[in-house]
Chains A and B, each alone.
Chain A
Amino acid sequence: MKSFARAGFGLIVLACATRVAAAQEISALVADREASAELAKIVATVRQNGLPLEPILAKVQYAVMVRSPAPRIVAAAHAVAARLEDARSALAPQPTATDIVAGENALWSGVSRKSLEEIRKVSPNKPVAVPLGVLAQLVVSSVPEKKATKYVTDLIKRGATSDQLVALGNDVNAEVKLGTRAMDALEVRMNRLNAVLGVPGANGDAASVPTSLQSGDGKKKP
């Protein structure tokens, strides 16, 4: 218990020290020498590779908070570093640090690298942190990944705003929590978004369509 507390304290100091003065020798700050050396190596490699350190620091801080044993922390930090590398490569060519962190979070949530690539493909020059977050939320809420990716990429193409995407994710989560099937919840919310996105009458807004007596499609077009 005593050694655990010492290791925890050391890790906190490690986290703070790395953030404040990245170049400091960190191994000297940690009581559990083996773990601290390993963590220092991971942090150095991540920094050297130009990847954001925040997710690793957050993981360490969180680990200390939940009192994880040192070897488990090291393993988790390794995993974060690998996911950061993977996210950067999937979101190439020029992802921002926020994008890479969002990609790492999405990979951690069970989203595949392929889905990250698809999101980047439809949004090559814009931030993807919010779409990736919503995608991860949907996947965690039991929406099949392939469907979730298709819906999110469709919304990006149609110019949905960040607020609209976030609202979709939150609404689907809430419906699922109340017992609705994930796909049903997603369909309902997509239907509502379709009604306000894009060209009127050409966006799959079936619920508003068919049978007004005014004209064949109720849209007065052409």
Chain B
Amino acid sequence: MRRARLFSFVACLATFSAPLRAQWQFAADLGASNLQRTDIPRSNAATFGASVTGVGDRTWFRSSLLGVMAGADQVTAQGLISGSVLGPSGHFARGELTGFLSGFSETGGRGTASGELMARGQFGLGSRGGAIGVGTGLTSRDGVRSALYHAAGDVWSSVGESQFVGSVSAIRRSATFFDGVNTVSFPQSYVDLIASWRRDHGGIVLGASGGVRGGLQSGTRGGAWGSAEAAAWVTARSAIVVSGGRSLEDPVRGIPRTTFFSLALRVTGQRHLTLSRRPTIAGARVSIVRVDDARRRIEVRGVAASRIEVMGDFTDWAPVALDALGDVWRLEREISPGLHRIAIRLDGGEWIAPANLPRATDDLGGVVGLVTVP
């Protein structure tokens, strides 16, 4: 019955989300772990995880599933479905309404389900920003329901290929337990401080997270946690993933405290750069880098010549000689941002389009390279 409900829910989501303009992605992990959980002694386990993500202009949706099998009688499963509706993009501030549904169950236990609705305000654009929000929801554990109240804030910043995130999250809920005669309820509050870092460089992705929890009211065990992950992309759609660390109990979702070390094969529907060494384009390669607000430096690499000239719309199509600095030929001048046409000449030969640029045949019959200047 439960499966039928879940299937119906997923089918509804798929049906209603299909017409939305979104980019859909999926990822799956199959791996082996050595783990220890509050209710599972240290043991080896097989793990399977999967996620589906859809990102639209003003919506996003994600569902993920993780199963752990430490033995025939020690199986846990956890799932999360989340979705969000956002205000118009392109503004410094925008609102967001997010819903979460989660479930956790284990053999021999009756499981935990929770749902939450959170309103957030996002600030910033692109590489850095922040968000604050408040939410409320319900947690049902062993059939006993309790309300939860949640306040959270995030800041994030990207530098090059790295992204840094800091979060604070405060939760207040009623913890319940059955004392043999009655169901006893008492308030429970705690605050998490979390920091994480992720770097995506070529075929390697590294990530690390850590945090501390402070219990403000009875019943919550505080402490510190940390985990790290490294993924090596062996093909465009598959990676070997090594991860390890420890996490604290998630009282809202019912996920117990876990210490783990895991090795997994990750398969994704989305392509990624791989570890394989990328060949270099043969021939003269041109790049243009920013020197200051107005000036740009044209650099030519990959050629052996005693004289290199460049011309383009930014030189009024007059040849200009470059200066050699080691293997790199350079020229600095003012160039406006945008698309420019460029050609180069080696040792007084023919004018050619640089090898690394898309080339176009001009309506006057000449061949030029196209380069966009930042």
Using a CB–CB cutoff of 8 Å, the interface residues on chain A facing chain B are: 15, 54-55, 57-59, 61-66, 68, 72-73, 75-76, 79, 98, 101-102, 105-106, 108-109, 122-123, 127, 129-130, 132-134, 136-137, 140-141, 154, 156-166, 169-170, 173-174, 176-178, 184, 187-188, 191-192, 195-204, 206-218, 220-222
In contact, A140 and B358 (Cβ under 8 angstroms) = yes
CA distance A16 to B224 in the complex (A): 71
CA distance A79 to B364 in the complex (A): 11
Interface stretch of the complex, out of B28-36, B176-184, B215-223: B28-36
Q: Which residue of A lies closest to B137 (CB)?
A: A222
**Can you list 26 contacts pairing A with B, beta carbon distance less than 8 Å?**
A61-B317, A62-B317, A98-B338, A105-B339, A122-B90, A130-B372, A136-B372, A137-B370, A161-B126, A174-B356, A178-B281, A187-B270, A197-B126, A201-B62, A204-B23, A204-B53, A208-B207, A209-B64, A210-B28, A210-B66, A212-B227, A214-B247, A215-B247, A215-B253, A220-B209, A222-B252
Given known A133-B339, A188-B273, contact A196–B127 (CB-CB < 8 A): yes
A residues near B235, Cβ cutoff 8 Å: none
A residues near B270, Cβ cutoff 8 Å: 187, 191, 206-207
B residues near A54, Cβ cutoff 8 Å: 313
In contact, A206 and B26 (Cβ under 8 angstroms) = yes
Q: Which residue of B lies closest to A157 (CB)?
A: B89
Contact string, B151-190, partner A, CB cutoff 8 A, digits 1/0? 0101010100111010101000000000000000000000
Q: What 3 pairs across the A-B complex have the smallest Cβ distances?
A: A211-B49, A159-B126, A159-B125
Question: Smallest Cβ distance from A86 to chain B, in angstroms?
Answer: 15
CA distance A72 to B125 in the complex (A): 47
Given known A62-B366, A109-B360, A177-B355, contact A215–B27 (CB-CB < 8 A): no
Given known A61-B317, A204-B25, contact A222–B358 (CB-CB < 8 A): no
Pick from A65, A109, A169, A198: contact of B317, CB below 8 A.
Answer: A65
Count A-B contacts at CB 8 Å.
282
In contact, B364 and A73 (Cβ under 8 angstroms) = yes
Pick from A134, A156, A178, A212: contact of B372, CB below 8 A.
Answer: A134
Q: Which residue of A lies closest to B237 (CB)?
A: A207
Given A68-B364, A202-B55, A222-B150, 20 other A-B contacts at CB below 8 A? Answer: A101-B338, A127-B337, A129-B338, A132-B338, A137-B372, A157-B57, A159-B126, A159-B127, A166-B374, A173-B358, A188-B272, A192-B200, A197-B127, A207-B231, A207-B266, A208-B205, A210-B28, A212-B227, A214-B209, A220-B209
CA distance A122 to B185 in the complex (A): 52
A residues near B129, Cβ cutoff 8 Å: 198-199
B residues near A156, Cβ cutoff 8 Å: 90
CA distance A65 to B53 in the complex (A): 53
Question: Smallest Cβ distance from A146 to chain B, in angstroms?
Answer: 12
* Residue B69 lies at the interface, judged by CB distance under 8 Å to chain A: no
A residues near B250, Cβ cutoff 8 Å: 215
Q: How many interface residues does B have (CB within 8 Å)? A: 119
CA distance A222 to B124 in the complex (A): 20
Given known A58-B316, A195-B163, A213-B243, contact A68–B365 (CB-CB < 8 A): yes
Given known A196-B158, A213-B262, contact A220–B317 (CB-CB < 8 A): no
* Residue B268 lies at the interface, judged by CB distance under 8 Å to chain A: yes
In contact, B127 and A161 (Cβ under 8 angstroms) = yes
CA distance A174 to B28 in the complex (A): 30
In contact, B339 and A109 (Cβ under 8 angstroms) = yes
Question: Smallest Cβ distance from A36 to chain B, in angstroms?
Answer: 17
In contact, A210 and B51 (Cβ under 8 angstroms) = yes
In contact, A222 and B152 (Cβ under 8 angstroms) = yes
B residues near A196, Cβ cutoff 8 Å: 127, 158, 161-163, 200
In contact, A210 and B29 (Cβ under 8 angstroms) = yes
Q: Which residue of A lies closest to B355 (CB)?
A: A177
Pick from A105, A158, A162, A214: contact of B245, CB below 8 A.
Answer: A214
In contact, B358 and A141 (Cβ under 8 angstroms) = yes
CA distance A192 to B204 in the complex (A): 11
In contact, B365 and A66 (Cβ under 8 angstroms) = yes
* Residue B373 lies at the interface, judged by CB distance under 8 Å to chain A: yes
* Residue B255 lies at the interface, judged by CB distance under 8 Å to chain A: yes
Pick from A64, A140, A212, A220: contact of B211, CB below 8 A.
Answer: A220
Q: Which residue of B lies closest to A129 (CB)?
A: B338
Q: Which residue of A lies closest to B148 (CB)?
A: A222
* Residue B362 lies at the interface, judged by CB distance under 8 Å to chain A: yes
Contact string, B253-296, partner A, CB cutoff 8 A, digits 1/0? 10100101010101011111100001101000001001000000
Q: Which residue of A lies closest to B100 (CB)?
A: A222
CA distance A204 to B339 in the complex (A): 29
In contact, A206 and B360 (Cβ under 8 angstroms) = no
